[in-house]
Structure 1
Amino acid sequence: MPRLLLAEDEADLARSLAVVLGHAGYEVRCAADGAEALRELDERAFDLVILDVMMPRVSGLEVLRRLRERGAAVPVLMLTARSLVDDKVEALDAGANDYMVKPFASKELLARIRVLTRNVSDLAVDQASFGDATLDRGAATLTGPLGAQALTARECQVMAVLMENPQRRVSSEGLYRRVWGIEPDAEMDAVWVNVSNLRRKLRAAGSTVRITLARGVGYHLEECDG
C-alpha cells in the first residue's frame, strides 16, 4: 500500500482528502504545517508527498527545497490557490513533480497520484547498488557490510552519477556539471571534497567498493579485494 504524506493547514480539507485517499487504497499521514511535515519526513519514508504551498511556520515550497537539498527523490505534488504561471514555474524549478490549483476535483487528484506513484515498487528510482554498496537517495544513506553511513545531498548526487554507469569514467568537469550545474558559488574543489568524503564513508561501511581516478580521464567505481 503506497504511503502518502499530506501537508495541509486547512483542517476540513485535510480530513476530507484523507478520507478520499484512504478509500482509494492509500495509507495517509497528515501534517498541519510545514514544520510538522519535515518531522514526518525525518521519521519515515513516503511514496508521495502532497504539499500545500501556503502553510504556517514553514511553507510548502521551503519543505520542497529542503527535501531536494537532502537528495530525496520522493515525488512531490503541490496544492495551492496560486494559479499564476510564475508560481507554477517556481514550484517546478524547486523540484515539484506536479502542481494542482485549488479548487480541484478529487477524481483528477487521484489520477495524478496514480501517475506519480505508478513506479513506487521500482526501487531503482531511489536505490542503486554496485558490489556490496547500496545507495538509498530517499534515505540519504550509503550501506555496506558494516552498516549505513549518512550522506549529504551533494554526496548522494555524486554517488548516484557514479552508480548510473559504473564502468564508465566520469571526469571532474562532468561531475561538476551534473551535480552543481551553474551555481555561482560552487568551485571545482567541491568535487574532490565530496569524492574524498565518499571514499571515507565507503571504508567506514566496510565496503570493498572504491572510487578510483585515472588522471586526465575521470572517476569510476571498482571492487577491490578486502
Structure 2
Amino acid sequence: MAEPIPQPVAAGNTQPTLPPNISIYTGPGKASLLSASLFTRLATTASEPGKLSAALAGKSTASEAAGSFWHQHQNAVLIFDGRRKHTAPGQEEQGEGPADDDDDSDEKVQDRHHEHFREICLLLKDADIGVQYGRCVFDADSSLAAGFQLDRLGSGDVMVVDLQQMEDDAEDSDAGDKGQEQDSDDDSDDDSDVDLAALGDVVSGSLS
C-alpha cells in the first residue's frame, strides 16, 4: 500500500498568534521608536482595531510617512518623538525613520510632538472616533511611563507590550476574586472557623 503523501502546511498556519497585550511595530521608524524621548498614549473609543486602522490609513496630509511617529496597539495609539541623549548600543546605527537633529531643543521636540498629536486627533475626528482622556498619557519621557514596554526583535522589528492592559486585566481579575470572596463571606457569616489562608493571594492583595 502506498504511503500517504504529506501535505504542505500553509504559511498562514505557522504564524504565531500574539496575546492581546502584545503587538509588533514594523514601520519605518523602528530606530526612532527605540530611541525616542517623548511619548503620548492616546486611548480611543474605537470598538474594533480595524476601524482605528482605517482611520490612521487616511493620513494623507501629513509631511511624514505613515507610521513613522506612531504605532497602533489595539484601540490605542502610541505617538513618539525626539531622541534620547544617550541611546543603547546599536539603536542609532539602524538608520531607520526620520532622525532628529542633535541640536533639537526640548521645546522643538515638544512642539513637533504636539503637532503629531493634533494630526492623529484630526484623523480620529474624521472617522467619528473619540478619545478616552482618562486613559491617555501625555508627554511622557519614556515608553514605560506611557504604559508600553519596547523590545527589539532579532528581525529588527519592535515588540510592544501594553503594560496598562496587563494592569487592567489584573484589576479585573482582582475584582472578580474579591466578588467571589464577598459572596462566600455572605454565605458563611455564622462560621467563625473560616480559614482565611485558604483564600490565597487575594487576602494579601498581591497580584504579582
The TM-score with structure 2 as length reference comes to 0.27
More strand by share: 1
Which protein has the larger Cα radius of gyration, Structure 1 or Structure 2? 2
The TM-score with structure 1 as length reference comes to 0.26
Q: Taking CA–CA contacts closer than 8 Å with sequence separation of 6 or more, which of the two structures ends up with the larger relative contact order?
A: 2
